[in-house]
Structure 1
Amino acid sequence: MNNEQLQQLVEQISVNSFNKPFQHDAYFNNRLRTTGGRYSLADHHIEINPKHYEHFGYEELVKIIKHELCHYHLHIEGKGYMHKDREFKNLLKAVGGSRHCQTLPGTRKKSKVIHMYQCTSCDLIYKRKRRIDTKKYVCGKCKGKLKIVKTISG
């Protein structure tokens, strides 16, 4: 699918699902990483992540387009267009759009490194994902000095 076909699809979904025309541009954006699509408040354009279409197919693409069109139409009408707004949630449910897009394989990498610290006074163990400055921070229980015990990576 190319940008012209995407534009036609967005216009078609807008008329069929919302009974309103989509009068701006819709196009694929390869630079989108963590989201299926994006609605621009400034110029009212809709950008779609082509990787979602490649991995999950046409049905997922339609759900993402409906989600972005909810933002579009509510913003144009001056209604609550944000995810937290009741109007957005109701319209999204009514048209059958997806609340969240599926996660692309290989996009979320969890840090498996765990830093273990121990208080030199009360021997309390702290496990942290991020390193902490032992000169700056002290034990929350007794205010004793912390020392790094080990770093586990896996």
Structure 2
Amino acid sequence: MEREELQLLVEGISLRHFGLVFKHEARFNHRLRTTGGRYLLRSHDIEFNPKQLEAFGREEFEKIIKHELCHYHLHLQGRGYQHKDRDFKEMLSRVGGARYCRSIPGTHNVSAKVLKYICQDCQQLYERKRSINISKYVCGKCSGKLKKFIKNS
């Protein structure tokens, strides 16, 4: 789907389901990863994740468009446009928009590498996602020196 086709689709859904005109820009953003789309508060433009369209088809994608249009129209009307707001929840259920977008297969982080540190004195094992400075930090149990834990295979 090209940008012009996306713009026409969003304008059509806005008129059909909301009875309101979409006056701003709709575009694809290939950098979006964990979301189906986003409404930009300052410019009032809407960006969409093209991977959602490719993975789940037009019907699911239209639900994402409705979701973002709820943010758009409520914000411009000065009503509650956030996910937690009653106005947003009511409008979303009335137009049949998606509350959440589906996860695209193969895009989730496979378990992050876990770094292991061991206390040289009490053998307390620490697992961390981020590296720590072993010259600065000590064991929380006995204040002993830490070293990287390397399992002997």
What TM-score range do you get, normalising by the shorter chain? 0.7 to 0.9
Name 1:91's counterpart in structure 2: 91
How far the C-alpha of 1:55 sits from its partner, in A, is: 1.6
Offset, 1:3:
2.3
**How big is each residue's C-alpha offset from its partner over 1:2-60, in whole Å with a ceiling of 9 and x where there is no partner?**
22222222122112222222122222233333322121111211122222112210111
The amino acid across from 1:144 in the alignment is G
Report what 2:138 is aligned to: 138
Instruction: Give, in whole Å, the separation in 2 of the partners of 1:47 and 1:113.
Output: 32
Greater shift, 45-54 or 100-109, is seen at 100-109
Checking the alignment, whether the CA contact within 8 Å between 1:116 and 1:151 is kept in structure 2 is no
TM-score (norm 2): 0.85
- For 1:151 and 1:105, how far apart are their aligned partners in 2? 33
1:18 pairs with 2:21? no
* Structure 1 portions without partners, runs of 5+: none
Given that 1:64 and 1:98 are in contact with CA atoms closer than 8 Å, whether structure 2 keeps it comes out as: yes
Deviation for aligned residue 1:74: 1.1
Which region of structure 1 is more displaced relative to structure 2, 52-61 or 80-89?
80-89
- Number of residues paired by the alignment? 152
Gaps of 5+ in 2: none
CA distance in 2, matches of 1:85, 1:144: 51
Aligned counterparts of 1:60 and 1:83: Cα–Cα separation in 2: 19
Give RMSD over aligned pairs. Answer: 2.2
Percent of paired sites with the same residue: 57
Relative to the length of structure 1, the TM-score reads 0.84
Q: What CA distance in whole angstroms lies between the structure 1 residues aligned with 2:136 and 2:90?
A: 49
Shift of 1:128: 1.7
C-alpha separation in 1, matches of 2:73 and 2:64: 14
